[in-house]
Amino acid sequence: MIYCCFHATGKTTLSRKNSRFIDLDIPYLGVDEIVNLALENQSIGKIPLLPMWGILRQELNKRQIKYKIIYPDISLKEEYINRINKRNKSSELEESLQEHWDILINGFKQSETESIVLKSKQYLEDIFNHEHDHFVSR
């Protein structure tokens, strides 16, 4: 399965701790390159973690590639802004989230794609069940 994950959910941390995962949130690569890398890694048993870019999800849909989306509960705006600030991400991203948070999260909620909604203080590694190699809701 391919997972498209919201900002600051722990893609890099999970991929460093568990080699089955690969973080493909690589800003300098194009959409086609990221999708192709995801498919290549999936074919050898890795679990690709992709960014939530709309254009990337459109490409996955266009190619009819199955994926899930992972995003925070709408009530967690401040928590995610703080996570991004701790990582020294650009103020552009912070400003965009401040301004468009509800629109983004509500858009994900309306998506027909299967999704996992993170609760407060949850990261990807918190919802991953290492014994069964799949994500679980808690």
- The H or E element containing residue 14 is helix 11-17
**pTM: predicted TM-score of the whole model, two decimal places:** 0.90
Q: Could you please report the per-residue DSSP string of 17-63?
A: H-TTEEE---TTS-HHHHHHHHHHHHHTT-EEEEE--HHHHHHHHHT
pLDDT of residue 124: 96
Are residues 49 and 23 in contact, defined by beta-carbon separation less than 8 angstroms? yes
Domain layout of the chain by residue ranges: 2-131
pLDDT of residue 92: 86
pLDDT of residue 89: 59
pLDDT in tens, the chain (138 residues): 999 999 999 999 999 999 999 999 998 999 999 999 999 999 999 999 999 999 999 999 999 999 999 999 999 999 999 998 887 756 888 888 999 999 999 999 999 999 999 999 999 999 986 544 555 543
CATH number of the structural domain 2-131:
3.40.50
Angle at 28 between CA 26 and CA 30, to 5 degrees: 90
Largest pairwise CA distance in the chain: 40
